[in-house]
Structure 1
């Protein structure tokens, strides 16, 4: 009986040494703070002198907040589930331990004490109870702390749901406002004016995106007074133009065996696409089956090709700054329930859109990894 009791106590303490995860509650609070910051930015954007830039920052802030909320909800869900499993398992162990102690409890009647084995049994049981009591107290305190953590997580998740619901609505509003502001702007400088007839002819004669990009690289333009930036300093340091995940790298074949020199990124619906560097818009519009395409020229003989957007911003010849909005991805933002389900389960189902990125130097494509950093 003593050996069984000792083994039971050891098993309780072994389970109590579970390694702690990063505090899920802190992640939830950080995500809610990002939503507060984005909300303040949306309010301030109403009267901003550069409304396009302000709204672009707001959309990016909301997207960052949504990504943080996905991580926070996932961690909170996992932590609460783990706490629940541990509580159920250890509650059973504590109940078993109490049962053992009850069975060991001596008969404290005078007859038992008079009996030759009565006082000895009483003394042994008393020693066992006094030895086990601190362990029970420690275990009870540990369970209390875990129950309190579970309660805090549930309260935070309830508060987070309200902020998340408002955030999903406000990011949609910010995207709509951004599209309207882009349509109304007139202040962007134009570096050149291209020949529309020749451009149309190039589009009609091109059988692929590669053909079109090669022709565009040598298409004559009338340069203005704005020089192109020196790209050597920026090479290899460009941020990704959109929040997403790399599906296929340069030279990797797709399911049909087609190999392309650029990257294919999986993005979330309505994700904002920005210019990774100061550049001139060389082309924007639909092209073949690539959807909407925008081509930027960040330096002489260098072209950045983005294909697969739903909305595209800017006019041919305009100069855009680094971080400026150049378009939005397609699809529909998920409703609250779908967002929460995908976040807690940790599924990648939300990455339903694809953006193709190609970098061309001269008339030839190069591996985008030479130019972009922080690729996942």
Structure 2
């Protein structure tokens, strides 16, 4: 009902100061209109101008795109050959992407709340349609037939007293209804303006995210090109890894065979063992954080066991299922499932070597990272993996991109259409609870 009243008020306003000038303008236009014979002569000129404007817009867009590409190419060229600076730029960009994705989530939530508030106001107005119709009718009648004045004629005195008594009973309620209507219409307008501002902010965040993703892709491509391993050898390793994945019955068997039969993976395992032998244990939390902030490191900054409480979740989003939760089949979850944004960036939780990257059974796209000392990290459910076999990745470095929906067969039971990332920690081939490793601010997001 309130929406109808709002419409009546709006029509009343439009019918006032703006209706007559519009009509007058229409009359003037008609009176001073160009003869029909002149219209065909101007039509080609209008089409030509419109086409010219469209060409100018396309040129401007192409120039903008070209400028962005040149800027990215210049940034990447400046980093060429400097691995530490390349890693640092990649990590910084990954942080900005993660922050922008978080801002997008918050903006979308605010838009959802504004939409619900607008719906509540509309429902309230609709529910009071009959009451407000009576209020408006009463106001109209009062305007057309005002009550008689007391000091006019003696025979009007009785009618004046009766009118005053009726008005005294009706006007307070009428005023209350009018005030409520005005406040709700004002709230409706405020929500409309807030929604418009939030949509503009959301559009700007999406443009910023697109720029940061383009920069991330360019940096990842440059890092791939800088890898020492030959393309032919890498292609052969990938083929052999795919064959092993087809033969392996489970993840444990896959990892064991990869580390004995694939040279890139075997080399990664050997480097992990050497790193463990060279690393000192312990150190303060400040020292461990400082070690993880060196972008030029070629081995884990701290032993994985000592990284507890320091690691960030690989992607922003809520935890849909935690480690140890009921898996729906009478067992317990061996990892955790995170609901993510569409095409969200996935980062490596920890330093480590990539020992598998590709599809594997119900896991979909599976990434396995050897974190050293018998620890492995499994990431599954991505649409695209952006790292290669044998590559050393840093904590926070982009390693994949989510798709537009669930990629895991087992994710169907979660009852959500959003992309889902599965994360599993393993120690000597057995699944372990990853919770102690997450930074406090991240672990607080776990639900259920």
1:238 to 278, 297, 311: 311
- Cα separation, partners in 2 of 1:97 and 1:112, compared to 1, 3 Å: farther
The aligned residue for residue 15 of structure 1 is none
In 1, the alpha carbon distance for the partners of 2:246 and 2:118 equals 59
Per-residue deviation, residues 148-202 of structure 1 (Å, max 9, x unmatched): 3044135325534643663575465345435423423459xxxxxxxx79x9697
- Unpaired stretches in structure 2, ≥5 consecutive residues: 1-67, 80-85, 229-236, 261-265, 280-299, 406-414
The answer to whether residue 356 in structure 2 is matched with residue 284 in structure 1 is: yes
Q: Which moved more, 1:267-276 or 1:89-98?
A: 89-98
Residues 357 and 387 in structure 2, CA contact (< 8 A), matched pair in contact too:
no
Map 1:66-145 onto structure 2 (within 5 A): 66-89=104-127, 92-99=130-137, 102=141, 106=147, 114=155, 117-128=158-169, 131=172, 135=176, 138-139=179-180, 141-145=182-186
> Is the 8 Å Cα contact of residues 236 and 370 (structure 1) preserved in structure 2?
yes
Work out which of the two has the higher radius of gyration on C-alpha atoms and give 1 or 2.
2
For normalisation by structure 1, the TM-score amounts to 0.64
Correspondent of 2:432 among 347, 366, 369: 366
**1:157-236 map, 5 Å:** 159-160=200-201, 162-163=203-204, 166=207, 169-170=210-211, 173-174=214-215, 176-186=217-227, 206-213=248-255, 221-222=270-271, 223-224=273-274, 227=279, 228=300, 229-236=302-309
- Please name the residue that 1:336 is paired with: none
Tell me whether 1:52 sits opposite 2:123 in the alignment.
no
Structure 1 pair 76–144 and aligned structure 2 pair: CA distance change class (3 A):
closer
The answer on whether the counterparts of 1:284 and 1:292 sit within 8 Å (CA) in structure 2 is: no
In structure 2, the partner of 1:21 is: none
State how far apart, in whole Å, the 2-side matches of 1:329 and 1:126 are.
Answer: 67
CA gap of 1:117–1:171, structure 2 versus 1, over 3 A, is same
Measure the CA separation in 1 of the matches of 2:74 and 2:107: 25
Query: In the alignment, is the contact (CA less than 8 A) between 1:283 and 1:316 conserved in 2?
Result: yes
CA distance in 1, matches of 2:100, 2:375: 32
Residue pairs, 1:328-339, within 5 angstroms: 328-331=401-404
Q: How much does 1:241 deviate? A: 0.7
Q: Whose helix fraction is larger, Structure 1's or Structure 2's? A: 2
| Contact 1:106–1:125 (Cα < 8 Å) also in 2 | no
Q: 2:103 aligns with which of 35, 54, 65?
A: 65
Higher RCO, 1 vs 2 (CA within 8 Å, ≥6 residues apart): 1
Per the alignment, do residues 159 and 128 of structure 1 end up closer, same or farther by CA in structure 2, a change over 3 Å counting?
same
- Contact 1:240/1:375, CA 8 A, preserved across alignment: no
Which is strand-richer, 1 or 2? 1
The answer on whether the counterparts of 2:322 and 2:446 sit within 8 Å (CA) in structure 1 is no
- Mark the CA change 1:287 to 1:87 in structure 2 (over 3 Å): closer, same or farther: closer
Cα distance between partner residues in 1 of 2:151 and 2:132? 31
| Counterpart contact for 2:118–2:191, Cα < 8 Å | yes
Maintained 8 Å contact 1:282/1:316: yes
What's the secondary structure of 2:343's corresponding residue?
coil
Q: Which runs of 5+ in 1 are unaligned?
A: 1-39, 188-195, 333-346
Question: Which whole-Å deviations, capped at 9, do the CAs of 1:57-108 have from their partners, x for residues lacking one?
Answer: 3432332233223212212222222233334445653442354575897555
Separation of aligned partners in 2, 1:95 and 1:146: 20
Q: Distance in 2 between matches of 1:58 and 1:272?
A: 11
How far apart are the structure 1 equivalents of 2:347 and 2:255?
Answer: 20
Number of corresponding residues: 311
Answering whether residue 379 of structure 2 is matched by residue 306 of structure 1, we say: yes
Residue pair 2:349, 2:396 contacting (<8 A) in 1 also: yes
Distance in structure 2 (CA, Å) of the matches to 1:364 and 1:167: 41
